Amino acid sequence: MNNYRNLLLLPLLFTPAIGVAAEAHVHGSATLQIAVDGNTLQLAFSSPLVNLLGFEHQPRTDKQKRAVHNMAKTLAHAERIFLPSPTALCTLQTVKLDSVVLEKASADAHEEHTHAGHDHADLDGDFTFVCAKPAELHELEVNLFADFPLLKKLNVEAVTQNSQVAATLNPSNTRMVWK
C-alpha cells in the first residue's frame, strides 16, 4: 500500500502548478524535486537562466552562445553534478533539458515573457538514474554551486517510499539526506 501511495505522489511532485515549482522566478534561487521509486531516482531541476548563464535572453554574442553550449554540456553530464549515495550504485539513464535558449525556433515562437522590460526565462532539467542497490540510496550530493556560482540557494523536496523531506541547499551545504 505504501508503494502505491508513493506512485500516486510522483506525478504531483513533478507538476509545476504545485509544490516548490510554483515559487516565483527568483534570481539566485532554484528548485530540485527528488522522487525515489523502487530502483529509480528521478530529479526535476528548475532555475532562472540568469543563475546558470548570467542572462535570460536568446544568446546574442559568441560569448553568450558559448555560455549556453557550456551550460548544456555541463548539465548533460548530470552524473558529475548529482551524486547519489555511492553504495547505491546509481547510473545516469536519461537527461532532458528544456529552455528557450536551447531551442532553434524564432524569437516569437519561444515561451520567454517580458515583465517591465526584463526578459524572464528558465531552464528545466529532468534526470533519471537507475540504482543497482536502491536500499542504499539515502542521500544526494548536489554540485551545482561549483559550476554555476550565481546560484545561491536550492530549494529541495524529496519523496521516497518511506519519507517526504524538504531542505534548502547552498554553496556550504550541498547534501540532501533522507531515510
Q: Tell me the pLDDT tens digit for each residue of 53-104.
A: 999 899 999 999 999 999 999 999 999 999 999 999 999 999 999 999 997 5
pLDDT of 25 reads: 64
Q: How many domains does one find in the chain?
A: 1
Position 122 scores a pLDDT of 94
The answer as to whether 155 is a domain residue is yes
> Do the domain assignments include residue 66?
yes
Query: What Cα–Cα distance (Å) separates residue 87 from each residue in 18, 51, 72, 141, 161?
Result: 32, 31, 28, 13, 18
DSSP 61: S
Task: Examine residue 32 and state whether it is found in any structural domain, yes or no.
Answer: yes
The predicted model gives 100-116 an average pLDDT of: 51
pLDDT reported for residue 103 = 77
User: What angle is formed at CA 166 by the lines to CA 79 and CA 172, rounded to 5 degrees?
Assistant: 60
Cα–Cα distance between 73 and 129 in angstroms, integer?
A: 18
pLDDT computed for residue 47 by the predictor: 97
Residue 27 pLDDT grade (very low, low, confident, very high; cuts 50, 70, 90): confident
Contact 129, 36 (CB under 8 A): no
Let me know if residue 20 belongs to a domain.
no
Q: CA torsion angle for 145, 165, 18, 43 (degrees, to 10)? A: 50
pLDDT of 17? 34
Asked whether the predicted pLDDT for residue 131 surpasses 60, the reply is: yes
* Cα–Cα distance, 176 to 167 (Å, whole number): 7
Interval 110-138 mean pLDDT: 77
Containing domain of residue 42, as a range? 2-13+26-177
Residue 83 lies in a domain: yes
State the average pLDDT over residues 128-136. 97
Residue 18 located in a structural domain: no
